[in-house]
Structure formats: C-alpha cells, structure tokens
Amino acid sequence: MLLAAAPAAAGSFAYVTNQSSSDVSVLDIDSRREVRRLPVDGNPAGIAVSPAFDAFYTVSPETKTVRRFSLASCALLAEARLPGGPLGVATAPRAGLVFVSDWYNARVFVLDAQDLSRIGELETGSAPAGLVVAADGSWLASADRDSNQVSIFELPAGTLRARVTVGERPFGIAEDPQGRIHAANVGSNDISIIDPLTATVTATVPVGERPYGIAFAGGQAFATDQYADTVSVYRLSDFNRTETLEVGEAPEGIDVTPDGSMIVLANWFSNTVSLIDPASLDVVGEIGTGDGPRAVGRFIHEFPKGDVPCQEAPSSQ
C-alpha cells in the first residue's frame, strides 16, 4: 500500500530594503542568517512581497524607480521610473495592479503588475506614505500623513469611498484579520482603528513614541515605536495595550510569517531585524542586514522547506 507523503514544513524568508546601502537583504528566518544581499540602486525603502505575482516590488525614492523581482531567483523582471516622490507600495492580485504612493504630489500611481506601465492615478491627501490593499481585494487605503487622514478607494474601479480623519501624521497602515484598518500616527503617538465599511474611527490606541508600522499575530497587534526603540503590543479584542518590548534602534517596518509564528521587524539604526515570538512575547533573536533597513510594507514570503531563494545571479540593473 502506498502512503501519501506528509507535506514538508515551510520556511519563511524576509526581503528587507536597506536604504543607506542601496540593497535588499534576503533573510532565512528559520536559520537566522542572510542568504543574499541584492544590489538595488537608489536607496530602496518601500517593499511589497506578492506570492500571487511570484514577485517582490521595491521603490527607490532617490532614483524614483519601482522594480519587480522574482521571489525565487531575485532576477530583475521589470522596472519603471516615476515622477514626484514614490515611496510606499502595495499589490492587488485580483486586479493585476500595483500601487505606489507619491509623497510629493498627493497621489497614488496605478501600475500594471507585470510590466509596471502606468495605468492611472488616484488623488489622496498630502504626503501619502503607507498603502494597504484589503485581503479580499475590495479596497485600497493610503495614509495621508500631512492631511491627518486615510483615503479609502474602491477596487478595482479606483473610485474614492471616503477620507477618514485620524490622529496626527499617519504613516504606516495595515489591515487586521477582522478587516479593520490600523493607521500609525507618528505625530500623536497612537493608532487609529478604522472600520472601512462605515469609514469611521472606532478606537484609538496610545502606543510608544513615533509609531511606524503594524503587524498582527495571535489576536494581537504589534506596532513599532521608532523613537522609543520598542514594540507596543495591544489586543485586537478590546484594543488595550498589554506589553512594551525592547528591540533594536529605530524600529520601522514590521511583518509576520504566514503561519503567524514569528514577528519580524527592521531596526533602521541597528542594521538588524528583531524576531519576536508572538505567543511568549519574547524577543528571540536578531539577524544582521545591510545599512539602514527600512522594509516599508509587507516583506515576508514562505517557501517549501528546503528551498532557498535568490541563489542564481540576478539580472543586471
């Protein structure tokens, strides 16, 4: 009798943009090592990993360039120069689109996910930074920092649903497992919780100084406090803050492994990522990166156990 083989456990890898050294660190989360450092010109900051497109996207503000790379090989697949101040990036697999925020011109570029050709623009408030697309693909939200608001757009049409006033200077933005929007307000040191259906703020959570990014695991939210060198933890059930964890210097981008077992965050001034066990709330390790890791966006992907990405030399840039 033939027995079906048990599926192999998966391994998680992080693609961390290093703004100061103009490269991307590809990190094996399980073995806690850097497996490749990929040169990316122009001080990359924004990152969006998209399993549906088998790609990750980077945004380099210095050269105003968005790039698409293969998740498996790190080969460069497409690139495009954009006007203004491109910064944040998010993907919409069902619509076949990529969105890039323009910090200087109150807009979001709409790009074709394959060749990065420009399809259109969406008008936002002043200084849009972080972007998030709903898990079901029904909306896009932008954190409009200098307008103290979040803009929500219907997808795939791109029509404006609402502009929601939040705290002071929202920068990072994320969707929790219940479909609510969390906006990190760097000016008021709190997180605004938004119901995207009613376009209302339903809760405000005080956190540490200059909150930057947010990730979710085990019924909790984890917010990086850039100026406090900490991560604030609050419950999603009642939005009460429960823990403050010390991490590296100037934590910024934050993400969670697909199985929810590890929180990973980039420490801009420490040149490391910190690893947090969301069950025990312990900081369980660090991995070295390039200079100035930012990881603004979603940056973790899961491969079958034993697969190690980015072993082939990437295309020349």
Instruction: Say how far apart CA 294 and CA 278 lie, in whole Å.
Output: 21
- According to DSSP H, which parts of the chain are helical? none
Q: Which of 12, 33, 56 has its CA nearest to residue 295?
A: 56
- Write the pLDDT tens digit of every residue in 114-145: 999 999 999 999 999 999 999 999 999 999 99
- Spans of all domains in the chain: 11-304
pLDDT of res. 9 = 53
Q: What is the pLDDT of residue 312?
A: 53
What is the per-residue pLDDT across 167-215, written as a single tens digit (0 to 9) for each? 999 999 999 999 999 999 999 999 999 999 999 999 999 999 999 999 9
Other Cβ atoms within 10 Å of 316 Cβ, number: 6
Residue 150 has pLDDT above 60, yes or no: yes
pLDDT of residue 2: 31
Residue with tokens 């072993």: 311
pLDDT score of 4 more than 50 = no
Query: What does the alpha-carbon distance between residue 117 and residue 97 come to, in Å, rounded to a whole number?
Result: 10
pLDDT for residue 8: 40
**CATH number attached to the domain at 11-304:** 2.130.10.10
Is the Cα torsion angle 102, 168, 281, 286 positive or negative in sign? positive
Q: What DSSP element (H or E) covers 122?
A: strand 118-123
pLDDT at 311: 79
- Is the pLDDT score of 314 beyond 60? no
Backbone angles phi, psi at 52, to 5 degrees: -65, -35
3-state SS class at 17 = strand
Report the alpha-carbon distance of residue 253 to residue 292 in Å, rounded.
11
User: What percentage of residues in the chain have a pLDDT greater than 70?
Assistant: 95
Q: What percentage of the chain carries pLDDT values higher than 90? A: 93
Other residues' Cβ atoms within 10 Å of the Cβ of residue 237:
9
Query: What confidence tier does 317 reach under pLDDT thresholds 50, 70, 90?
Result: very low
Residue pLDDT, tens place only, 218-273: 999 999 999 999 999 999 999 999 999 999 999 999 999 999 999 999 999 999 99
Asked if the model's pLDDT at residue 303 lies above 50, the reply is: yes
pLDDT of residue 306: 81
The single-letter DSSP state of residue 167 is: S
CB-CB neighbours of 286 under 10 Å:
16
Read off the pLDDT band of 5 (50, 70, 90): very low
pLDDT in the model for residue 294: 97
The pLDDT tens digits for 94-117 are 999 999 999 999 999 999 999 999
pLDDT at 76 over 70: yes
**Within 10 A of 299 (CB to CB), how many other CB atoms are there?**
28
Spatial CA neighbour of 140 closest among 263, 48, 264, 13: 48
Residue 46 predicted with pLDDT over 70:
yes
